[in-house]
Structure 1
Amino acid sequence: MHETDGRRSASRHHRVFLPVLAALIALAWVALWAWARSPYGRYLEHEDWTASGPAALLCRVVPAGDVVVPMVLYAAAWILMTAAMMLPTTLPLFNTFDRLTAQRPDHGRLLMLLGLGYMTVWGAFGLLAHALHSAVLSLLASVPTLAWHGWLIGAATIALAGAFQFSRLKYRCLEKCRTPLSFVVEHWRGHGQARHAFALGVQHGLFCVGCCWALMLLMFALGTGSLGWMLLLAAVMAIEKNVRWGRRLSTPLGVALLSWAVVLVATTHA
């Protein structure tokens, strides 16, 4: 009986779960591609939110619209970008949790809560990154001397991402992300299922942010609307987390980023 249930679970896993998750990831990428090529593609860059178009109209109509509308639009863009870039890196986690909870009647709801917890953490990180980005832009606008040397911020961001590749925090968090079965066994209690499924997603999201935050900040230096850079960074993070030799990618990537920052500084001063 258990063997039959196991075969049914495996069949459902390959027939339903994997195609659905793949479709969600593909849909996120297609939506980003369509958005970037639409008349509203500038919103992906988080610039000119209130200058013109529908966003400007909403800013005038909605109370405190100059703050609320950009934040909502930014959150939507960031969550879409995170879904496209980060969900592929978490496939082993969802794969493990799907198999573990396959026999539960609320299986689908638990999977959604796991994903919601994970995306909540990345959404919070995105809002913090947006606030920091806005503060930097305001500082540049108010201090002309800094504006002339604004390129230093991009170089510093790239250098920070490179240096972080050598940190102990990076490797500690990366190990948690690379061992999803151990992570789920350690944190999943199976009682109070809905609450614990969401908490499991939050906990894994925290470790995921812990190992990838510096690489994600590169999007602010490279352009948050650049699909090419998104694809490249998503591939790098997926390899680091999911491929057997992925951990060995961290050091050469750090060297490459630090070298890039040095070249930027040298060529700009030349």
Structure 2
Amino acid sequence: MRPRLRLFAPLFAALTAGAWIVLWLWDAGPYARYLHQTSWTELPGVGALCRAAPGASIALAATLHSAAWLLMIAAMMLPTAFPLFDTFRRMTVARDERRTLLSLLIAGYAAAWALFGLVAHGFDAALHRLADESPMLLVNGWMIGAAIVAFAGLYQFSRLKTRCLDKCRSPLMFITEHWRGLSARRESFMLGAGHGIFCIGCCWALMLLMFAVGMGSVGWMLALGAIMAAEKNLGWGKAIGKPLGVALIAWSAWIVAANTLFV
């Protein structure tokens, strides 16, 4: 193996570790609120900018949300897709444009998750608006959290979850099914985006838990990232799916009981 090829895994690990370090520093610093769900116009300096430039509020909010979300994806989801990236790298090692193709593969994967992030943030904003307009939900916000946790638990038993997980656990088969190398750059990007879609199919319900327990919690991100990586890449990963579903449903039931029976 040539020295340059042996560098891929360490560099990838360093990139992932760097993303986690940045998240930790961000969360521990004075600007931690940028990671969490809040009104962007309430943050120091941001409100003044939004008032000074009409329309800047939407653009700035989208920029900050996207930056935070992509950093989270780099930390949480890129490691779970390492087998795909490494397999593709080895299959294209003889091509002159191999670095470009690998970059496009990763970009396609990140683009799929970025689009999901926009949808998830829109869903979260809609829930906040619904809660603001509903006195019952405003007082009993725990109901939304309990529902999200229960849904994430039930999704662990779904056929869609199983099908997407099977696709993610077989990177070589996925590449041979979706990449011919005829229009190499376009196919590389679409391969990454396609795998990202199946990855979202595996993990989207678990990712929504971040909105239930607190967006930007580095501890929760570490826990969820480890669970999703184990599910997709370890031999015993499938075995944790149903127990995790049971645990989430039990957690939801505890939230309901704690807020109805023990108050």
Q: TM-score range with shorter-chain normalisation?
A: over 0.9
Name stretches of at least 5 consecutive residues in structure 2 with no aligned partner.
none
Indicate the residue corresponding to 1:4 in structure 2: none
Q: Does 1:177 align with 2:180?
A: no
Q: CA RMSD in A?
A: 1.1
8 A contact 1:58–1:69 mirrored in 2: no
8 A contact 1:42–1:48 mirrored in 2: no
Q: Does 1:110 align with 2:110?
A: no
Distance verdict in 2 for CA 1:61–1:21, change over 3 Å: farther
Distance verdict in 2 for CA 1:60–1:263, change over 3 Å: same
Q: State the TM-score, normalized to the length of structure 2.
A: 0.96
Q: Cα deviation per residue 1:57-94 (whole Å; 9 max; x = unaligned)?
A: 33234441221111110011011001100011001001
Whole-angstrom CA distance in 1 between matches of 2:105 and 2:14: 18
Whole-angstrom CA distance in 1 between matches of 2:69 and 2:46: 16
Residue of structure 1 aligned with 2:4, choices 12, 15, 29: 12
Q: Does 1:96 align with 2:114?
A: no
Q: Does 1:28 align with 2:13?
A: no
8 A contact 2:168–2:199 mirrored in 1: yes
Indicate the residue corresponding to 1:139 in structure 2: 130
Q: Tell me how far 1:51 sits from its aligned partner.
A: 1.0
Q: Secondary structure, in 3 states, of the residue corresponding to 1:50?
A: helix
8 A contact 2:37–2:214 mirrored in 1: no
Q: Cα deviation per residue 1:27-64 (whole Å; 9 max; x = unaligned)?
A: 11111111111211111112131113233233234441
Whole-angstrom CA distance in 1 between matches of 2:49 and 2:194: 36
Q: State the TM-score, normalized to the length of structure 1.
A: 0.94
Whole-angstrom CA distance in 1 between matches of 2:186 and 2:43: 42
Q: Which runs of 4+ in 1 moved over 4 A?
A: none
Whole-angstrom CA distance in 1 between matches of 2:66 and 2:46: 14
Identity between Structure 1 and Structure 2 (%): 52
* Alignment: residue pair count: 261
Q: Tell me how far 1:164 sits from its aligned partner.
A: 0.1
Name stretches of at least 5 consecutive residues in structure 1 with no aligned partner.
1-6
8 A contact 1:158–1:221 mirrored in 2: yes
Tell me which amino acid in the other structure corresponds to 1:22.
A
Residue of structure 1 aligned with 2:36, choices 25, 45, 63: 45
Whole-angstrom CA distance in 2 between matches of 1:243 and 1:63: 50
